[in-house]
Amino acid sequence: MTAPADTVPASQTTTPALEVRDLVVRYGSGRKARNAPPAVDGVSFDIAPGETLGLVGESGSGKSTIGKAVLGLQLPSAGAVRVHGQDITSMSLKKRSTQVADLRVVFQDPYSSLNPARTIGQTLVEPLRLMGIKGSEALLKARSGLESVGLPGDAIDRYPAQFSGGQRQRIAIARALVCDPKVVVLDEPVSALDLSTQAQVLNLLADLRDQRGLSFLFIAHDLGVVRFLSQRTVVLYRGQIMETGPVEAVNSTPRHPYTVALTAAAPVPRPAEQAARRAAREAAGFGTAGAAAPSATGCPFVPRCPLATDVCVEQRPPLRLVGDTRTACHHAEQVRAL
């Protein structure tokens, strides 16, 4: 059964900036791929122009695989990806470089995402060169891009090693935005940074989004970080959508047991509150990740879920509206008691 699309607000009548429909990704080839459990299993969502959608889940949930499929770095096994209505699912990387200038990415690690042998100017000019912008015009746009992220324009003559981690991530953001894209995939863009630098980069991203009308696919494992930047959230587990809806509703009144467990596991700066969360999670009876194999036909969270029954093992729950969120849980109405 394929999960229904996470719909944009009813008032949104324009074409979504990014559409993902019934996306399935299996690693490997031939019989091995056919027999392997999918890394992404029937995921659908839209992102409206100017909107940030947070894609959140534990390691191995499939969130980065979705980002790779959107960027063309991983070929989908089924489904479609569209940017402003244009199907780019099977488009070659060469064709993407000339026809999909609206789609860019900021990677997780600011230390490995920049070539240490190239100046910052060379790094920023490269995507412009592929678009046919060269010479003084390209250098001018590169300087302007650096200034837009709070760095001096003369930094184009320096090398990545001369910058801190936070500054390198600002450079990576400038590289993504120098081509004036409309959709940016943010793959864990602050997880490698310290807390104070995280806040600075998140504020920068929010300002740039609002100033330029950008759409962000924000991939993260921390619900608190997603809550700061996103308007809507998609919660993933083993390649399937567990819950999706407005970010405040997902965080404050989760309707899926996995979202409850994920929220309880999120770190907080107050030790007493952290201890209380841990105790509540243990009292609720949530199993640990990887404790048992998931159901092949039902809900993948069955081995860890304190509410699981036979129907959860036998039938994959569809996404349905419960309260303010769409939830893939047969017993979503009982989740408040956890």
| Per-residue pLDDT tens digits of the chain, which is 338 residues long | 444 445 444 344 589 999 999 999 998 877 776 777 899 999 999 999 999 999 999 888 999 999 999 998 999 999 999 999 999 998 877 777 666 778 999 998 888 889 999 999 999 999 888 888 888 999 999 999 999 999 999 999 999 999 999 999 999 999 999 989 999 999 999 988 888 889 999 999 999 999 999 999 999 988 888 999 999 999 999 999 999 999 999 999 999 999 998 888 776 667 777 677 677 666 666 766 655 566 678 999 998 899 999 999 999 999 999 999 999 999 999 887 55
Q: Kindly report the backbone phi and psi dihedral angles of residue 311, in degrees, each rounded to the nearest multiple of 5, phi listed first.
A: -65, -30
Sorted by where each begins, the domain ranges of the chain are 18-102+181-333
Would you state the structure tokens that stand for residue 244, as one six-digit string? 């999706």
For residues 155 and 168, give the distance between their C-alpha atoms in angstroms, rounded to a whole number.
11
pLDDT for 282: 67
The pairing of beta strand 320-322 with beta strand 325-327: antiparallel
Right CATH number for 18-102+181-333 from 3.40.50.300, 3.40.50.10490, 3.90.550.10, 1.10.10.2840? 3.40.50.300
59: alpha, beta or left, given left = phi > 0 and alpha = psi -120 to 50? beta
Say how far apart CA 138 and CA 161 lie, in whole Å. Answer: 23
What are the residues facing 217 on neighbouring strands?
53, 185
Question: Is the pTM above the cut of 0.85?
Answer: yes
Contact 290, 307 (CB under 8 A): no
- Distance CA(232)–CA(64), nearest Å, equals 18
What is d(CA 18, CA 334) in angstroms, rounded to the nearest whole number? 34
Residue 54 · residue 233 · CB < 8 Å: yes
| Cα–Cα distance for residue pair 174/148, rounded to 1 Å | 7
- pLDDT of 91: 83
pLDDT at 9: 46
159: left (phi over 0), alpha (psi -120 to 50) or beta: beta
Please report the sign of the dihedral spanned by the C-alpha atoms of residue 227, residue 64, residue 82, residue 101. positive
Best CA proximity match to 66, nearest among 18, 23, 101: 23
Query: Tokens standing for 165?
Result: 């981690």
Order of all β-strands in the sheet with 78-83: 40-47, 18-25, 78-83, 86-87
In the three-class reduction of DSSP (H, G, I as helix; E, B as strand; rest coil), residue 318 is classed as: coil
